[in-house]
Amino acid sequence: MNRRDFLKTAGLTAASFLMPNVQVWAKTAATAQNQAATNKLVVVFLRGAIDGLSVVVPYGDQRYYKVRNNIAIPTPGNELGALDLNGEFGLNPALAPLMPLWKNGSLSFILNTGSPDPTRSHFDAQDYMESGCPGKKSTSTGWLNRLLAQLPDNHSPVRALNIGTTTPRILQGPVASATFKAELRRRPTAIDNEVIASSFERMYEGRGDSLERAFLDGMDARTTINNKLSGEMMQANGGAVVANRFSAFGRQLGKLMSEEPKVQVAFVDLGGFDTHVNQGNGKGQLANHLQVLGKGLSDLAASLGETYSRTTILVMSEFGRTVKENGNNGTDHGHGNFIWALGGAVKGGQLLGRWDGLSDGALYENRDLPVRTDFRSVISSVAGDHLQLSSRQLQTIFPDFTPEKVPGILKA
Amino acid sequence: MPTNKKMQDRRSRELKPTTSARFTAALLAAVSLATANLGFPANPAVAQTPTSGSATRIPRTPLKIAKSPTIARDSRESVAHLLNRVTYGIRPGDIEKVQEMGVKNYLSRQLSPDSIELPESIVKVSQVPALTETPVELFRNFGKPALKALVQNKGKTEAGKKELQKVVRETYGRLYGDAVQAHFVRAVESPRQLQEVMVDFWFNHFNVSSDKGLDHIWVGHYEETAIRPYALGRFRDMLGATAHHAAMLFYLDNWQNTTASLNPTVNKKGKSRFKGINENYARELMELHTLGVDGGYTQKDVQELARVLTGLGLPPGAGGGMGIRNLQQRRAMMQNEQAQNGQAQLSPFMRRRMQNGVRNFGAPVTAQSIQGDAKSGSYFDPRRHDNGTKVVVGHTIAPGGEREIEEALDILARHPSTARHISYKLAQYFVADKPPDSLVQKMAATFTRSDGQIAQVMNTLFESDEFWSSQYRNKKFKSPHRYIVSSLRATDATIANPGPLLAFLKQAGQPLYKCLTPNGYKNTQEAWLNPDSLINRLNFATALGANRLPGLKVNGANDVTESLATVSEKTVSAIEKAPPPLRQSLVLGSPEFMMY
């Protein structure tokens, strides 16, 4: 064991001694601020523009069935029918793993949300939703990074987790994040080799400069993630079948966040939602993706354990899809969509936002769901309450924007 | 490939003892350099520099850095510094070569790249369609088939998907692959190193992203014809070339920029691909390309400049289709919002159209049938132009059609804010993340005096005391791109397949030709030094040094320590303690190799 490993182990031990105490203390005598300091935000980005109407199905509206002959989800009670939410709307049956969360009151949807920018280009819309500055292309940082900069700096190399291989636009900026790939088998890289690692340690340690700090943080983040996940990997490998690459994200992220108290935000993105052709309904292309997503989110909720109560998960997509189906049993690029909110702090079991139905007059350009609530208002409302950010701080995260308060997302 | 491996094994066995000895010798030599360097801060004149540096606030007193702390310009460490900044990284033997030919001579040749002969291999790598075909030809030969495949096959069947992937590989994939291969071979091997580095600087200054729609097919040609020829030429020429290139017109949406007064005639709902003013290009033209964000223009100027630029778009038949003339017959298409984004491949309308015989893109493109400028892929449509009078940063521009654009570009190129903005960025790129104001002022003066001759501005930079000052040496942190290119230069690597390089850059957040934002990739430490990416570099260094990156072959006999301008004793001792086969990797992963 070298010096650094020793320090790290000592640090972890100290932390694990302290942690229960902190939590007890937090529960009994928590001030809002201390509570907020440990609250967490997870952003799940669905790339390709998910069809919101196939997630939360307005089965009570006859128009829905009129404009979607081939891809509508049947009413509740029918084969592959929607799972009833409130007597008018139902959940895609592929999202069944999320029903318990709806029922226990920790899952809500905010309807008709999105970006005010009218673009229907994935490229531009994702860019705007991640930079948080619709219409302003030269914004170089992502809003999640600017948000991190407003949270108390706990000096942890894993305060921001990114699941994937590259730092996405939303996390780009001055605050470093740790990236890891959610996969069933961890492939060791060169730096995991003891001889190689110690050689580089000899070079970088004790320089007292920013290179040393980056090196140590990088090695620490790696060790933390590898250690926390090694057990989880073994478990998963027992299952033999290697499912698609997202199946592991929920469990792994949940485990890391529950065991590593300094994680403040996490980001994960999933693709494959650009369903122009053969979208399917309760089964098929989209349902297959939703199954993975629903399972991943419910695994995440479960493996977060007690931490779930202090976590808010927002699921969003760059824009919505056309209300009418197209000639290829699919849907095309639209405008408004739904944001999903999950977590112990969420006042669940609700459909929030302004819903005007599906009549032509209620639609944007007679074809798409409208945007009634700016996505930045949703984020600001959650970040303001859940992470205790002031309106001045929110201004820094979303410059040149005055958020509207979206009431009722979180428990009072 | 057992033979290869055997050869490799044999080579490393043969070289091991010598390599080890050579390493130590070279490292010791490097350490004595470092010690020489370390000696300088003890010199009171230098020790004071940082303090007097903060005195730059005193206006109009150019920071006179005393000559004494500046090491002679032809000393080994000075030449190492020069090579670090002029090239993509020192190659073993480079320092001696420059010392032999003289610093002045070396610089003057680098500043006029045509005076340096290119080896056949470099010339050959640029003779590929991605770089030589015009934007119109590229659209016809690659863009059209790709669009057609995209609309016909997308996701229908497994076979369809395969077919689509094949077409995309043969079109978008091939063009990108060829452009990337040319890029890396030239960056690593070209003797015209300053030109290569300047191309990188200017490409990022006038950034476009190959990830956006038709820029998949145009990005290589854009760099080759709108950036490269002017990288050390006249700024105004490059500004004009980028303004008129299809890649820029598409990337910043000016191809759609249309006079607002035309809108009602387009259709009743006011919808078409050309639905009025689009300010994107006008804004970035002032904010990023010329004046700079604090350059003294207003939102009103942006609007006025956008009016000047109305009508400058893509040639019909090469992405810019649908002349106003035909709008009535194409109502259905106009209503299709997808077409507005130039991503017609995904719209149901276009899908049907393609299936029904591909009329719109079907006519053969010949020189005669193309309107506008086939070479740059631009077309000025007077019908979409705003014919009113405009006022841009205080200058009145009389109605004059296409000529107005040239007038506006002249005004912007000659504006003092532009001279300063460009000089600042160049000084930041070549000297320090926070460049000394005295240097920026000198460069801006040259910029104005020479009417934007970039080689002259660079000459001012390289002749300045600031550039040579020891306080700026080895203080720049390499971008991921510079890091890998310098690694390849240090190891004398040959590139058969740039795949691993692209993968590394993607992971590092600097995918080649794919910067999303118009401000291009930054080149400061703040932008690139972070824990994840440093660890990734160490993994890359280990793999490259051990010759384990497929498609790349390093010269194992190369002494990479010669590529370090300086090295600490800490690094030396770490390398000496490591097993010899690991040493090349360790040098590439050393803190010193991260800097330049």
Residue written as token pair 């009078």: B389
User: Any chain A CB within 8 A of the CB of B212?
Assistant: yes
CA distance A169 to A128: 10
User: Is B421 part of a structural domain of the chain?
Assistant: no
User: Is B168 part of a structural domain of the chain?
Assistant: yes
Closest CA to B295 of B394, B227, B226, B391: B394
The last residue of one of the domains, among B403, B436, B470, is B470
Domain annotation for chain A: domains and CATH numbers? 43-184+242-397 (3.40.720)
Kindly report, residue by residue over B106-134, the tens digit of the pLDDT. 999 999 999 999 999 999 999 999 999 99
How many angstroms away from the CA of B127 is the closest CA of chain A? 31
pLDDT higher than threshold 60 for residue B332: no
User: Any chain A CB within 8 A of the CB of B284?
Assistant: yes
pLDDT higher than threshold 50 for residue A43: yes
Kindly report, residue by residue over B138-154, the tens digit of the pLDDT. 998 999 888 888 777 65
Taking a C-beta distance cutoff of 8 angstroms, is the pair B375, B225 a contact? yes
User: Any chain A CB within 8 A of the CB of B460?
Assistant: no
B 406-425 → A contacts, CB under 8 A = none
Kindly report, residue by residue over B163-172, the tens digit of the pLDDT. 888 999 999 9
Kindly report, residue by residue over A133-143, the tens digit of the pLDDT. 998 888 889 99
Closest residue to B591, CB basis, from A123, A169, A204: A204
pLDDT higher than threshold 50 for residue B251: yes
SS3 per residue for A150-196: HCCCCCCCCCEEEECCCCCHHHCCCCCCEEECCCCCCCCCHHHCHHH
User: Is B53 part of a structural domain of the chain?
Assistant: no
Q: Give the count of alpha carbons within 13 A of A126, CB side only.
A: 21
User: Is B541 part of a structural domain of the chain?
Assistant: yes
What's the CA angle centered on B141, arms B136 and B147, to 5 degrees? 95
Q: What pLDDT score was predicted for residue B41? A: 32
| Number of folded domains that form chain B | 3
User: Is B247 part of a structural domain of the chain?
Assistant: yes
Residue written as token pair 């929110």: A394
In this predicted structure, which of A180-184, A354-358, B286-290, B540-544 has the lowest mean pLDDT? A180-184
The last residue of one of the domains, among B406, B441, B470, is B470
B378 and B398, same domain (yes or no): yes
- At residue B557 the predicted structure's pLDDT band, cuts being 50, 70 and 90, is confident
Contacts of B341 in chain A (CB under 8 A): 119-121, 124
> Where would I find the H helices in A32-74?
32-38, 62-67
In the structure encoding, which two tokens stand for residue A379, read together?
A: 């984020």
Q: Percent of chain A, pLDDT > 70?
A: 86
pLDDT higher than threshold 80 for residue A284: yes
ipTM at complex level: 0.81
Concatenated DSSP letters of B393-419: TTEEE-S-THHHHHHHHHHHHH-HHHH
User: Is B61 part of a structural domain of the chain?
Assistant: no
Could you list the residue range(s) of the whole structural domain that residue B439 is in? 427-470
pLDDT higher than threshold 70 for residue B326: no
Taking a C-beta distance cutoff of 8 angstroms, is the pair B577, A202 a contact? yes
- At residue A122 the predicted structure's pLDDT band, cuts being 50, 70 and 90, is confident
Q: Report the b/e string of B337-352 with b at 16+ CB within 10 A.
A: bbbbbbbbbbbbbbbe
Taking a C-beta distance cutoff of 8 angstroms, is the pair B428, B437 a contact? no
CA distances (Å), origin B247, targets A127, A344, B135, B212, B255: 19, 48, 8, 10, 10
B309 and B389, same domain (yes or no): yes
The whole-model pTM stands at 0.79
B 544-573 → A contacts, CB under 8 A = 568, 570-571, 573
Taking a C-beta distance cutoff of 8 angstroms, is the pair B557, B491 a contact? no
Residue contact A215–B535, C-beta within 8 A: yes
B335 and B408, same domain (yes or no): yes
B188 and B236, same domain (yes or no): yes
B453 and B484, same domain (yes or no): no
Q: What pLDDT score was predicted for residue A9? A: 38
B215 and B339, same domain (yes or no): yes
How many angstroms away from the CA of A339 is the closest CA of chain B? 23
Closest residue to B570, CB basis, from A157, A203, A326: A203
Closest residue to A121, CB basis, from B341, B508, B568: B341
User: Which of B337, B521, B587 has the highest number of chain A CBs within 10 A, making it the mutation to test binding with A?
Assistant: B337
- At residue B155 the predicted structure's pLDDT band, cuts being 50, 70 and 90, is low
B238 and B386, same domain (yes or no): yes
B135 and B182, same domain (yes or no): yes
DSSP state of B116: S
Question: In chain B, what are the helix, strand and coil shares in percent, each to the nearest 5?
Answer: 65, 5, 35
Q: Which residues pair with A377 in a beta bridge?
A: none
B186 and B300, same domain (yes or no): yes
B352 and B227, same domain (yes or no): yes
Q: What pLDDT score was predicted for residue B325? A: 34
User: Is B576 part of a structural domain of the chain?
Assistant: yes
| Averaged pLDDT score across all residues of chain B | 82
Residue range A125-136: mean pLDDT, rounded: 94
CA distance B115 to B596: 26
Contacts of B543 in chain A (CB under 8 A): 190
B545 and B457, same domain (yes or no): no
Closest residue to A191, CB basis, from B337, B517, B539: B539
Residue contact A215–B526, C-beta within 8 A: no
Taking a C-beta distance cutoff of 8 angstroms, is the pair A126, A169 a contact? yes
Residue range B262-268: mean pLDDT, rounded: 49
Q: What pLDDT score was predicted for residue A247? A: 64
Kindly report, residue by residue over B416-452, the tens digit of the pLDDT. 999 999 999 999 999 999 999 999 999 999 999 999 9
Closest residue to A176, CB basis, from B213, B532, B542: B532
10 Å CB burial of residue B51 (0-12, 13-18, 19+) is: exposed
User: Is B106 part of a structural domain of the chain?
Assistant: yes
Residue contact B539–A277, C-beta within 8 A: no
B126 and B266, same domain (yes or no): yes
Taking a C-beta distance cutoff of 8 angstroms, is the pair B65, B465 a contact? yes
